[in-house]
Structure 1
Amino acid sequence: MSKTMTGPDGLVRCGWCAQTTEFIDYHDREWGFPVDDDIRLFEKLCLESFQSGLSWRTILAKRENFRQAFAGFDFNKMVKFDHQDVERLLQDAGIIRHRGKIEAVINNAKRAQELVGEAGSLAAYFWQFEMLADDDFVPQSASTSTQSITLSKELKKRGWKFVGPTTVYSFMQAMGLVNDHALDCVGRKAVMHARETFQKPV
C-alpha cells in the first residue's frame, strides 16, 4: 500500500485512509494526537487487543458497541466484572465475541488499577515510553519499535494480557507516543505541533 493517498478534498493523507472513508475522520481528528486521559488510553489498548488478527476497520465500526458493553472502558468499573459478565459479553453480537480477548481486557482492568496505584496514572506510566523525533526514523516502516518491545515486556511482567509488541506499537501510534504519519501527510505537522505543546503527565 502506498504511504499516502489524496483525499476527496485534495489533501494528502496516510495511505491507509484509502481503505474506507470512515478512516479519514479518524485519521484527521484522533490518530497520532497525544492523549493523557487514562480512560482513552485504556480503551485504545483494549481495542488494539481485540484487533489482534483482525482489521482496525472492523473494530472502529464496533467501537461504540464496545464502549457500551465494557462500561465505557472505565477500568474502575470493569474490575467488578465477573464470569456472568464474560458470558453476557460472549452473547453480544455488537462486539468481537472471543473469550480469550474478553477475559484479557477484564484482567487488564485490574492490572490498570494496580498501575495507577504505582505510577499515579496510566498516562504518566505510558508516556515514559514516548518515541522522540529521530532524523533516521522512517514513518510507517515498522510494526514494532524498541520502545514498544520494552513496554510490552513491562506490561506482561505486571500480568497484562494480549499486549504484544505489535499491539503496543499500534497503541503508541494512535495515542501520540510516536508521530508515525507519513512525511508528506497533512496530519504530520498537526501532530508534530500537538506533541510540541503537549504537557507530558508526570
Structure 2
Amino acid sequence: MTEQQRCSWANSSPAMQAYHDQEWGRPTQDDQELFERLCMETYQAGLSWSTVLNKRAAFHRDFHDYQIQAVAAMTPAEIAAAMDDPAIIRNRRKLAATVTNAQAWLKVAAAEGSFAHYFWAFIGVPQQHDGQTVPTQTPLSARLAKDLKQRGFKFIGPVAAYAFMQSVGAVNDHELNCAWR
C-alpha cells in the first residue's frame, strides 16, 4: 500500500502527520472542537505549530478538556496553577485569554444558538486558494477577528483568525499535491 501524499509541513513528525490527516482543514460544527482549535491558535502566536501540538495534552489537562463552561468558570487560582505547569505555554495573557474567550464564546452561543452557527454563517462558503500561495491573513479573517474582538474575545487578530479558519476547514489551503485537497 502506498502512502498518500500530504502537505509538506505535515511530514516533520508523526504528531504533525496525525494532525494533518485527521483534523486540519476538516469542517466541523462541534462547538467544543471549534473552541479548542481557537485556543490552540491563540497559543501559537509567535511560536511554532509543533510547539503547540506537543503541549496539547497538557493544555487539555489544565483547561478541563476544553469543556467551555468549565473553562469560562476558571478562577485566577487555576490560571496561577497553570502558569506553574512547565508542560504548557506559560504566557499569562494567552492563558487568561482562554478563560475570557470561553466566556465570550458562551455569549455568542446564547445569542446565535451555537458558536458554530455564528461562525459558519459569518464565513459562508469555505474558500479555496490556488494552492501555490498561502496568505497569512485575508480580508475575511480581518473581519472575523474584528467581530470576535467586538464580542469580547482576546488575543485574536487577523493572522490567528486565518489559521483558525484553515484549521477548521473554512478555507482549504492544502497543497496542490496533497491527497486531502
TM-score normalised by the chain length of structure 2:
0.93
- Any residues of structure 2 matched to 1:90-105 within 5 Å, and which? 90-105=83-98
**1:20 is aligned with what amino acid?**
S
Match of 2:134 in 1: 141
Match of 1:67 in 2: 60
Aligned partners of 2:101 and 2:154 also within 8 Å: yes
- Any residues of structure 2 matched to 1:1-202 within 5 Å, and which? 9-128=2-121, 129-133=123-127, 137-139=129-131, 140-188=133-181
Partner Cα distance (1:46, 1:82) in 2: 17
Partner Cα distance (1:122, 1:41) in 2: 8
User: 1:132: how far off?
Assistant: 3.5
Partner Cα distance (1:58, 1:133) in 2: 27
**2:97 is aligned with what amino acid?**
A
Aligned partners of 2:38 and 2:164 also within 8 Å: yes
Which structure 1 segments of 5+ residues have no match?
Answer: 1-8, 189-202
Aligned partners of 1:130 and 1:178 also within 8 Å: no
Report % sequence identity: 38
**2:46 is aligned with what amino acid?**
G
User: 1:93: how far off?
Assistant: 1.4
Which structure 2 segments of 5+ residues have no match?
Answer: none
Partner Cα distance (2:9, 2:79) in 1: 33
Measured against aligned partners, the alpha-carbon deviations of 1:148-172 in whole angstroms (never above 9, x if no partner) come to 1110000011110111111011111
Aligned partners of 2:64 and 2:70 also within 8 Å: yes
Partner Cα distance (1:133, 1:108) in 2: 25
Count of aligned pairs: 179
Report the CA distance shift for 1:133/1:177 in structure 2 as closer, same or farther (over 3 A).
closer
**2:100 is aligned with what amino acid?**
N
Partner Cα distance (2:126, 2:47) in 1: 29
User: 1:58: how far off?
Assistant: 0.8
Measured against aligned partners, the alpha-carbon deviations of 1:92-134 in whole angstroms (never above 9, x if no partner) come to 1111111011111111111001001111101001112145456
**2:130 is aligned with what amino acid?**
V
Partner Cα distance (2:48, 2:125) in 1: 25
User: 1:19: how far off?
Assistant: 2.4
Moved more, 122-131 or 70-79: 122-131
Aligned partners of 1:13 and 1:186 also within 8 Å: yes
Aligned partners of 2:127 and 2:170 also within 8 Å: no
